[in-house]
A and B are shown apart, each in its own frame.
Chain A
Amino acid sequence: MTIGALRLLHDALLDAAADPARAGRVAAVVEGVPHRCGELADASRRLAAALVDRGVVRGARVAIYMDNTWPCVVGIYATFIAGGVVMLVNPQTKADKLAFMLADSGAAVLLSDAHLEKEYAAALAGLDAPPRLVVSNGGGAAGEDFDRLVAATAPLRDPVGTIPLDLAALIYTSGSTGHPKGVMQTHQSMMFAAGSLIQYLRLDARARILCALPLAFDYGLYQLLMSVALGATLVLERSFTYPAQVFERMRATGVTVFPGVPTVFAMLLAAHARSPLCFPDVVRVTNTAAALPDDVARRLREVFPNALVYKMYGLTECKRVSYLEPERIDDKPGSVGKAIPGTEVYLLDADGAPVQPGATGVLYVRGPHVMLGYWNRPEQSARMLKPGRLPGERVLCTQDHFRMDEEGYLYFVGRSDDIIKTRGEKVSPVEVENVLHAIAGVREAAVVGVADALLGEAIRAYIVRVPGAELGERRVRAECAARLENFMVPKDIVFCDDLPKTATGKVSRKALLEHPPAGLPA
């Protein structure tokens, strides 16, 4: 393939692979195994051809329900090359939610790992039109084997006609309704966002970027997109479950960029307190998903003495909103900075009028990174996307409350919905409540987030039992663990006699937080 301007997410990969000087560079080190740029391009084009053979046309959705593995990376680029839309699903997701996402997106193909068979098999069994299944590490009963398919298929040669306005990804995010919504992002919006991030993070082709966050989380996915766009190296780890293993790999590969969320940094500092850690090769540390406390940011300098520390804020609907220049971290405590390069932000009051510096308003975001909307959710899209200044333009109304100082620095004030942020993940209380309500013996349940030093917020469930029901904490946890991602399972379970209600008879989460009911013995 001949590549002109780099407009699509896979253009940089194919361009580098076609250049003998760059094809041999290591594109990714996956759990310690290096993979060259040419190898990624070749495997992706082979899988792309196989996807096309299996019905992936321009705009078709390819679900990728995998751990952070080499096949997952190949699956992402193969989908782009085939003209498809990646729909990444966190491997912690359980069958019911996976089935919902597959049906909601209308995925044509599902790529997964053999060890996730229990969940995907249950999900596929309930679908009227299940996607074609390709499984890494051994096919399984119903699916084709990933490695054999890649080896047996000739690389896709001809471009499929994708243009920058075509969808590249559906990124599912928790919604206050309890069902996740697919954020529609195009090649153009994601290329723009990746370029803006690279610019303010001051990265170049020498970067060795760690990704131990799930690729299904857009923060993880962009570490890959930035690495490929730069011709840099991604150091991909399955997770932060075993920090000592991640640290070993960071030293062995000379990682220079460390992206984390506050829970990861809290764990890192706890480990540092037990036995000192130091990573002098790391020159960039980034935080998003939840606020990084100022004292944590300060203490990170002991572990990363040569790094610029970035505090950032964003939401999937536009990828990233703002970043604080690392040089201002001491004189702008508590701030998440200014709009990322190429975008602008402003605050409006409830009547749509601009607010004065220092006053609280709703944050609006304008730029090429704003989503097209939620997949098949026109009402919810209309709530977030508002007419902009120019004809046809849409700006993102984040629904989050902020303050802005005289210099334009943003300060997060609060959310306008009940979404809980735990371990950097967004959790809809309704989604957890739906699972609780389905447990025999539960009459009523309500879920709130309470402050927690390690998690940011911890999930607390208040449960009113059916009189006489034999229901204890253990069974509630077991039922939750079977249906929810680990981070959604309530940390505290409180049985009580009654839940506070609003005048209209709805459970009041606000009253639950202000006047928690007395707990009964479990």
Chain B
Amino acid sequence: MILNLREFIAKETPRWRRPEDLLGRMESDPGFRMGLEELKELHELYLRASADLERVATFAAAPDLRRYLESLVARAYGEIHETRGKSRRPAPFHWFFRTFPRTFRRHLNLFLLAVAVVLAGGGFGGYAVLADPYAKEALLPFPHLLLDPAERVAREESKGKGVHAGEEEDPLRGGKATFSAYLMTHNTRVSILLMAMGITWGAGTVVLLFYNGVVLGAVTADYVAAGQGEFLVGWLLPHGSVEIPAFLLAGQCGLLLGGTLMGRGSRKSLKARLRATGRDVTTLLGGAALLLAWAGLVEAFLSQYHEPVLPYSVKIGFGVAETVLLAGFLGFSGSGGGKPREGAPS
């Protein structure tokens, strides 16, 4: 049978318009849900369009029409044959208190690997600064870190004395919210990059983690060697107790992505592996972003104040409390009974 294309198109077009309309509505209106009758109708129209595609491909010289029907059939196929867990209404509390910590624990080995890489970097950075004081300029990216620690501490505490005595205006006044927003967004971008670098089989993530460790180690060694350990802990711990684990979580994400690409010990295909880890990557990075939002607030509104405005013991105590809470949350939240929600990983 030779297909009379013009007649065929004229006759079948109304039947193609209907699934086109349904699919177009689903794509444009996120709230649109098909009823049972519409679903049945779509399924029937999909089968007819598939038959029409077969006829066009076999009997007619119409590549554009064939491509159109291929597109229509493919779109309908995606909607009809999706068997993976359907997305439920967002449940943020469930996600934060169960899904996120459980996902963290499921990939704990990668988190520990990230910690090891950062510690290695820290060891290198610390050794470099102690062995060669000029290494500080090469390693530390921020100008205020290049100052002599004792000089910097004296300056900060002197400023603090003035503010505490009411003789000077708070230098951070009128800028804390802006600084906080900057920290949140900058750190989140860096975390996203940490995760995204996992696409290089994790090598890029390892390099970034190591570099951050180097900076941390260099600063720590510099301040401790100068006898300013208390200031350093008081300055970094309030926000660092949350910010550093958040970076490690992003590193964990990147290593998860890298490990998925490598696929050691897995019999699944690369595609299947990537599908399986996509949700975990999103969860871990989402959790890291929330922690960084908190860390940004603390760093801008708390960490920059030193003695006598804010005693170091208070800041250190706050930082320790955050560390304990975070460790408890990541270590235990969501554990114990309870059936996992349908469509959510356990």
Q: Do A and B come together as binding partners?
A: no
